[in-house]
Structure 1
Amino acid sequence: MNEQRPIIVWFRRDLRLSDHAALTAACASNAPVIAVFIRDPLVDRLGAAPKWRLGQGLAALESRLAEMGAKLILRSGPALDTLLALLAETGAQGVYWSRLYDPESVARDTDIKAQLRAQGVEARSFGGHVMFEPWSVQTKTGGMYKVYTPFWRSVKDRSVDAPRSAPPTLCAPETWPQSERLADWHLGAAMRRGALIVARHAQVGESAALDRLAEFIEDDVADYVQMRDIPSKRGTSGLSENLALGEISPHQCWHAGMRALHEGKAGAEVFLKELVWREFAYHLMHHSPHILTSNWKPDWDKFAWYTDAAHPEVIAWQQGRTGVKFADAAMRELYVTGKMHNRGRMIVASYLSKHLLTHWRIGQAWFEECLTDWDPASNAMGWQWAAGSGPDASPYFRVFNPDTQLDKFDPKGFYVKRWIAEGQSDPPETALSYYEAIPESWNLTARDIYPSPARDLAAGRQRALDAYQNRGF
């Protein structure tokens, strides 16, 4: 290791300085460290909301590095070409990065590692985006887990690496390479006017994520079991947007949850199970990457999904104008906050894929465009769970009734009133913000009459069951 030649740390979905194995290793070498983010084709293909949120996260990382006297170097172009150019400019001896697990990233990173090593450049990848590497968890017969509960039992007592502290300083190179300007990337352009609304609800950056975790553990985790299904309450951690971009690590969340469990906060165990549910999604994506693009269960390829994304009922679903209040409130929450309560996600996914018999891929793509906490593994697994086509999925005969779900989880209508303005004489700001966030082309106002349901829920459920049974399910 040459202490004079720098090491490039290639940031991706790990926008933090603490518990960052690649950064820690680079700093331990005593070599100068150059932090780099590359806007490559995979970044350019992000949906509107995830790309906007990425821009916010990069700005926070830039500020954090500046506080330490360092810089975040921004470059655009194919990742390999960009790294080779930076190596030539800086004389760097190595490139370190945190592993990703979606098939496109794996293919890109595998090629880059081989190309760099062939040129004598040290290329190292590190864990950190998941707690348990997907190849490290196997059934007794050596295969992948296809059901969550056995997966949980397999990993719940495993040791999880303790989080690493952020480096106190970063050794700077003699000369910084040129950087593009984040503002010139216009990562929020596709969000248009919605960005200003969603920004009010985002908690961006590593410091905000750590504060959010601490607050959750202190105030909310004890009641997590009772409160996490109540959409009108702050009953969840809210950390999904931070985990998606690696502004906090799952290891940090796990150890905080374990401390809470040992302190007698019973809800902490279910919080830990939710972290492992996220792990399960990543392991499924690693072992069966087709989960991202096609039915995980091949039998579902025979099912005659509707695939018209421009159908009026699908458009009404997208706009939160189905007349089904739980589904509509959840979709409106999405446009205002960039996120959606997990109970709402189950309802809107079940309604689209079962009551409307519309292909889950249409819903998956819409969430990919609209969620600031978009995550490829969790989004795919969640949609296939709701549709019934995925591993450990909701059974085909389980068709959520949005009205009875609303009676159970929002009996006094607080959630609906928060997000649906029509019919209220004095609607709250949250409900009115929906009209500020949505595309102007939708031409909707709070003065509109709230629609009646286009489809009877009981009849829709029976139609779905008949369709499944006729296909031999």
Structure 2
Amino acid sequence: MTDESSPVIWWVRRDLRLTDNPVLHRAADSGRPVIPVFVLDEVIESHGAAPKWRLGLGIRHLAERLEAIGSRLILRRGTAQTVLDALAAETGAGAVWWTRAYDPPSIERDEGVKSTLTGRGIDAGSMPGHVLFEPWTVETKQGGYYKVFTPYWRAVKDRDVPHPTSARTALRTPQTWPDSDRIEDWNMGAAMDRGAVVVRPWLTLGEEAAQARLTAFADGRIGAYGRARDLPGIEGTSGLSESLTYGEISIRACWHAGLRAASRGEAGAETWLQELAWRDFAYHLLYHTPHLLTENWRREWDSFPWNEDERVAEVTAWKRGRTGIRFVDAAMRELYVTGRMHNRSRMIAASYLTKHLMSHWRIGSRWFEDTLVDWDPASNALGWQWASGSGPDAAPYFRVFNPVTQLDKFDKDRTYVTRFIAELSDDPPGPARAFFDAIPRSWQMSPDDPYPEKPVVDPKEGRERALNAYKNREFPATTHP
């Protein structure tokens, strides 16, 4: 079989869409048979409960989309390098293409796959599609990478971004399809236990739902986004983080929707474009400083006296939404009920853990990695390091959010806390009650329990303790990598 007629394997990863998918479009335009393949590999096996479960749902949906256009999705499990090498030999594939990733575990995996396949004469390689701008294409005037977002934003905001391409409605199929695993046998949602039933109705699953959500936001709510995005009690955001995480919508589609809104004079459009660029900035930093994922970005924070024991009572209370701080507790319960957490709430919850409770950001990062359906390695790491003070931020550590005054400012009528904290109401709403259906039974929590009378750490006392620790600690001169 010649290269011109041999199949192309589309290695499906976080690009679960038929619309504006550069890898899929290249494969289809080659005129060769296309074999879509998803591998439950070593990187995905390491994922936490919620993202692994949500990815499995996305894979099922993509399989249905492919079947609707006369194709199919092949499922295999094992080390990516071994599985793809064997599958290429089995199918006679002359090419294996995939959407590029930027986190260290994925890069290591992909380099191994590429080395093995190219060594056998197979065209193997990655293409862009997950971010707006490849991390190595954005440089300072001195030639280095950006360490602060504002100048990064100025460098990219006027760059040309290709318009999204339309959906593929047909793919050439191979003469014989290889065997496939059954996704039911993988049981990717096992670790979710009973929480899956609670979280499932809150999901935006599949590219059709993502596109509908983008249209509704860009044609309606985006004008008020600048202010509304900070109010957790209302639907003021796009709600597309989940869809972007799994590539059920392309970042280019979101960017151009924002540009169109800006051209109409929508006040919140530029703020939303900045948030999309912030996502790219997270990958920019992760690529250039891979230790962002697991270590303090500012190395001088290695000596800061954070608690690193997840078993202490204060951390347990934080995870279970029982700190006695209503904004924090509502946020942590929203996470268990919906699989997501409002961005303002994330900042408050993260600040309280790392500053008032003086606990390491890695504790929170790992918790989110297990519980967020929209978990993204770059955004999660950057968000936690920004909140803790150890990350790339021009503001000093002294920024300690007061969760009480923040609640008065952003949830004045207590819509948000009432929605998620059952103990505050005689007749709590559905989401507040659902929290107790989602949590592990071992927590032994009930909506009839009294809400904590006192916080585990008073906001004023916690702030003073954190600032004293900061002032009395001698940091090395280095301020960033």
TM-score by length of 2: 0.97
Maintained 8 Å contact 2:418/2:424:
no
Q: Which amino acid aligns with 2:294?
A: T
Give the match for residue 462 of structure 1: 464
Maintained 8 Å contact 2:20/2:167:
yes
Q: Which amino acid aligns with 1:453?
A: P
CA shift digits 1:262-301 (9 cap, x unpaired): 1111211000000000000000000000000110001101
Shift of 1:472: 3.3
Q: Say if 2:251 is the partner of 1:258.
A: no
Secondary structure of the 1:358 match is: coil
Maintained 8 Å contact 1:15/1:57:
yes
Q: Which amino acid aligns with 2:387?
A: A
Deviates more, 1:149-158 or 1:300-309: 300-309
Q: Which amino acid aligns with 1:437?
A: A
Give the match for residue 294 of structure 2: 293
Q: How do 1:120-135 residues align onto structure 2 when only pairs under 5 Å count? A: 120-135=121-136
Give the match for residue 326 of structure 1: 327
Shift of 1:438: 0.6
- Partners of 1:437 and 1:29 lie apart in 2 by 47
Secondary structure of the 1:35 match is: strand
Q: Which amino acid aligns with 2:463?
A: R
Maintained 8 Å contact 2:189/2:196:
yes
Give the match for residue 442 of structure 1: 443
- Partners of 2:302 and 2:248 lie apart in 1 by 37
Secondary structure of the 2:176 match is: coil
- Partners of 2:465 and 2:20 lie apart in 1 by 50
CA shift digits 1:130-153 (9 cap, x unpaired): 010000000000001000000000
Give the match for residue 173 of structure 2: 172
- Partners of 1:283 and 1:415 lie apart in 2 by 33
Give the match for residue 115 of structure 1: 116
- Partners of 1:183 and 1:212 lie apart in 2 by 28
Maintained 8 Å contact 1:385/1:393:
no
CA shift digits 1:18-58 (9 cap, x unpaired): 11111111111100000000001111110000001001100
Shift of 1:84: 1.1
Give the match for residue 313 of structure 1: 314
- Partners of 1:140 and 1:210 lie apart in 2 by 37
Q: Say if 2:81 is the partner of 1:77.
A: no
Maintained 8 Å contact 1:3/1:32:
no
- Partners of 1:165 and 1:140 lie apart in 2 by 36
- Partners of 2:298 and 2:88 lie apart in 1 by 45
Maintained 8 Å contact 1:217/1:260:
yes
Q: Which amino acid aligns with 1:298?
A: R
Shift of 1:393: 5.8
Maintained 8 Å contact 2:8/2:27:
yes
CA shift digits 1:356-408 (9 cap, x unpaired): 00000000000000000000000000000000000016521111000000000
Secondary structure of the 1:422 match is: helix
Give the match for residue 159 of structure 1: 160
- Partners of 1:189 and 1:84 lie apart in 2 by 29
CA shift digits 1:226-282 (9 cap, x unpaired): 200000000000000111111111111001110111111121100000000000000
- Partners of 1:353 and 1:63 lie apart in 2 by 43
Divergent runs of 4+, >2 A: 1-4
Maintained 8 Å contact 2:222/2:266:
yes
- Partners of 1:103 and 1:460 lie apart in 2 by 35
Maintained 8 Å contact 2:85/2:116:
no
Give the match for residue 268 of structure 1: 269
Secondary structure of the 1:10 match is: strand
Q: Which amino acid aligns with 1:405?
A: Q
Maintained 8 Å contact 1:364/1:380:
yes
Q: Which amino acid aligns with 1:463?
A: R
Q: Which amino acid aligns with 1:467?
A: A
- Partners of 1:444 and 1:385 lie apart in 2 by 32
CA shift digits 1:152-193 (9 cap, x unpaired): 000000011111112221001111100000111100000000
Maintained 8 Å contact 2:103/2:290:
yes
- Partners of 2:179 and 2:385 lie apart in 1 by 44
- Structure 1: state its 5+ residue gaps: none
Shift of 1:4: 2.7
Q: How do 1:168-247 residues align onto structure 2 when only pairs under 5 Å count? A: 168-247=169-248
- Partners of 2:378 and 2:199 lie apart in 1 by 23
Deviates more, 1:109-118 or 1:165-174: 109-118
Give the match for residue 416 of structure 2: 415
- Partners of 1:422 and 1:393 lie apart in 2 by 39
Give the match for residue 149 of structure 1: 150
Shift of 1:454: 2.0
Maintained 8 Å contact 2:358/2:466:
yes
Maintained 8 Å contact 2:19/2:168:
yes
**Identical aligned pairs, as a percentage?**
57
Count of residues paired in the alignment: 473
Q: Say if 2:72 is the partner of 1:34.
A: no
- Partners of 2:125 and 2:305 lie apart in 1 by 46
- Structure 2: state its 5+ residue gaps: 476-481
Q: Say if 2:407 is the partner of 1:406.
A: yes
Maintained 8 Å contact 1:386/1:393:
no
Give the match for residue 398 of structure 2: 397
Secondary structure of the 2:219 match is: helix
- Partners of 2:420 and 2:187 lie apart in 1 by 29
Shift of 1:2: 3.7
Maintained 8 Å contact 1:385/1:394:
no
- Partners of 1:380 and 1:423 lie apart in 2 by 33
Give the match for residue 11 of structure 2: 10
Shift of 1:3: 4.1
CA shift digits 1:321-350 (9 cap, x unpaired): 000000000000000000000000000000
- Partners of 1:460 and 1:260 lie apart in 2 by 42
- Partners of 1:393 and 1:177 lie apart in 2 by 53
Maintained 8 Å contact 1:384/1:393:
no
- Partners of 1:125 and 1:166 lie apart in 2 by 20
Give the match for residue 349 of structure 2: 348
Instruction: Tell me: CA distance 1:49–1:393, structure 2 relative to 1, closer, same or farther (3 Å).
Output: farther
Deviates more, 1:9-18 or 1:114-123: 114-123
Shift of 1:88: 1.4
Q: Which amino acid aligns with 1:199?
A: R
